[in-house]
Amino acid sequence: MHPVFCTIVPPHVLDKLAQSEDPAVSESARRTLEHDSLQRTRRRITTLRGVAAPTGTPSDKPERTIYDAEHREVAPGRKVHAEGDAPSNDTTVNRAHAGLGATFELFLKVYGRHSIDDAGLPLDATVHYGEKYDNAFWDGSQMVFGDGDNDLFLDFTIPVDVIGHELTHGVTQHTANLEYYGQSGALNESVSDVFGSLIKQYALGQSADQADWLIGAGLLGPNVDRGVALRSMKAPGTAYDDDVLGKDPQPATMDDYVRTSRDNGGVHINSGIPNHAFYLLATDLGGNAWERAGKIWYATLTGGELLASDADFAEFARLTAASARTLFGEGDEIQAVLKAWSSVGVPAS
Amino acid sequence: MRIAITRTGGFAGIERRAELDTTGRPDATHVQALAHRALASAAEEGTAVTGVPDGFRYEISVDGRTIHCADPHLTHEQRELIRFVLKEGA
């Protein structure tokens, strides 16, 4: 009666299990570790940082292709739209195309990044994945969007911040590669929320005080009576409180940090803390959040080997302070960074 | 046979759980066979692969034996069983 070990078990737990005196437990864990380490080696190959683009300069134009899974759980599916094509009759296809474009645009125009890998990676997306599929994800090389069940969730291509969130998982994969567990996992989630929100703000031309700071606004279906979105960076824990969805579990500060083994150690829960720190920084500095606040976060995420893949909140916070000093010297920016982290209870110095 | 499925993760990070007892169901034989195949494919073919950020994670328990798996690397049988139990179960 031994469980089959899989992705849900973090490597450090597997390491322990592999040393178990029960041979069935240790054998199973050891095999999973071997498999995982193969996967990680592959990932490491794709995440070598600072390596020059293969040949020539990557294009300043996105190269987007949309595929249709035709309600099966397959990717990529049938090709239905290429970069230069006229708009499709399928609004989902057009939304995916536009969302990929908005993401490409922010990363290029504001941060000088050429696509997800900074080497002009073509952007592929599969829409209509599965039946009533309530999710969207970056599968390591492309985007996948479900249609939602039309009851709790609508089409996942609707909010541009959801598209930006998922594509940012690709950027993280190619840069800091934050491990998707515990605090580093919550940072991985938070960085996706931050840039997802910035992509929306940049597309709408909204300053920090005009933005809604919501993640997934417009995604909730007709059966959700009390909810505005899935997460709020402005007020974590207040996005929904509904009889079907339950209550938004996000904390805003370390006082309410949630210790759990569920959700990979609460990656979608505790991300509320760094999310709120970013919100506080951006609104304190004022103006467009993607400019100074966004640049500090981007430099921290992509700053080479400084940010460890298993970084905790405090390590990330210290590096944002270092980034603020490097970019802007001893001014308002560094003071605002220190104040934001202090407000959420994370030491940054 | 009691089949329980817990789905965690996903973009929303909202957990979903459903349980189903095949006793007395007209399709009991079919569902039990499906559950056996879903578990067997995990144990024997090494489908224990790395998930993806925001991908759904699943815990499938059948009469006390538990396996874990994750999107998008499910076997056909796991996919079918998950869909069935989350829809039909309570």
Show the CA angle centred on residue A128, arms to residues A166 and A216, nearest 5°.
40
Catalytic residue annotation of A: 166, 268
The confidence score (pLDDT) of residue A349 equals 86
Domain annotation covers residue A139: yes
Whether residue A139 and residue B68 make contact (CB cut-off 8 A), yes or no, is: no
H or E element that contains A262: helix A262-266
Q: Does B76 touch chain A if contact means CB atoms closer than 8 Å?
A: no
Report residue A261's pLDDT band, with 50, 70 and 90 as the boundaries: confident
| Interchain contact A136–B (C-beta under 8 A) | yes
* pLDDT score of A5 more than 70: no
Give strand pairing partners of A78: A68
Q: Which pLDDT score is estimated for B42? A: 73
Whether the pLDDT of residue A276 is over 80: the answer is: yes
pLDDT of residue A153: 97
pLDDT band at A30 (very low <50, low <70, confident <90, very high): low
A188 and A326, same domain (yes or no): yes
Q: Is the pLDDT of residue A50 over 50?
A: no
Residue B41 · residue B19 · CB < 8 Å: no
Q: Does A73 touch chain B (CB under 8 A)?
A: yes
Last residue of a domain, one of A123, A158, A193: A158
Q: Do A6 and B11 touch (CB under 8 A)?
A: no
Are the Cβ atoms of B13 and A269 closer than 8 angstroms?
A: yes
For residue A169, what pLDDT is reported?
A: 98
In terms of domains, do A281 and A210 share one?
yes
| Model pLDDT, residue B40 | 87
Q: Give the CATH number, domain containing residue A202.
A: 1.10.390.10
Averaged pLDDT, A58-86 = 97
Contact A166 B55 (CB under 8 A): no
- Tell whether A270 and A305 lie within a shared domain: yes
Residues A236 and A139 in one domain: no
User: Which chain A residues are closer than 8 Å to B57 by Cβ?
Assistant: 7-8, 264
Cis peptide bond upstream of A249, omega within 30 = no
At A56 the pLDDT is 74
**pLDDT averaged over chain A?**
88
pLDDT of residue A100: 98
Chain B partners within 8 Å of A32 (Cβ)? 48
Chain B contact probe: residue of A2, A4, A141, A269 with most B CBs at under 10 A: A4
Q: Region A132-150: what's the mean pLDDT?
A: 96
- Per-residue confidence (pLDDT) for residue A24, from 0 to 100: 52
Residue A299, chain B, CB below 8 Å: the answer is no
Position A107 in a domain: yes
Residue A53 clears pLDDT 70, i.e. is over it: no
Do A197 and A149 share a structural domain?
no
Q: Which of the residues B11, B56, B60, B66 would you substitute to probe the A interface, choosing the one with the greatest number of A C-beta atoms within 10 Å?
A: B11
As a whole number of angstroms, the distance between CA A138 and CA A146 comes to 12
CATH of the domain at A87: 3.10.170.10
Residue A45 lies in a domain: no
The reported pLDDT for the residue numbered A52 is 46
B48 touches chain A (CB under 8 A): yes
**Per-residue pLDDT reduced to its tens digit, B10-60:** 999 999 999 999 999 999 999 999 999 999 877 544 444 478 999 999 999
Mark whether A144 and A193 lie in a shared domain.
no
The average pLDDT across A306-329 equals 96
Average pLDDT for A176-197:
97
B67/A4 touch (CB, cutoff 8 Å), yes or no: yes
Task: Give the chain A residue whose CA is nearest to the CA of B16.
Answer: A245
Least confident of A56-60, A94-98, A166-170, A223-227: A56-60
Q: Does A87 touch chain B (CB under 8 A)?
A: no
For A318, the domain range is: 182-343
Q: Given the structure tokens 């998008």, which residue do they identify?
A: B72
A335 and A219: one domain? yes
For chain A, give the percent of residues with pLDDT over 70: 84
Are A150 and A99 members of one domain? yes
For β-strands A64-68 and A123-129, DSSP reports them as: parallel
Q: Considering the domain boundaries, does residue A336 fall inside one?
A: yes
Residues A196, A146 share a domain: no
Number of structural domains in chain A: 2
Chain B residues with beta carbon closer than 8 angstroms to that of A137: 11, 52-55, 71-72
DSSP string, A301-343: HHSGGGS-TT--HHHHHHHHHHHHHHHH-SSHHHHHHHHHHHH
Q: Do A201 and A336 reside in the same domain of the chain? A: yes
**A positions 102-131 inside 8 Å of B (CB):** 131
Shared domain check, A215 and A339: yes
Question: What is the DSSP pairing of strand B56-62 with strand B65-70?
Answer: antiparallel
Residue A15: is its pLDDT beyond 60?
A: no
**Per-residue pLDDT tens for A143-182?**
999 999 999 999 999 999 999 999 999 999 999 999 999 9
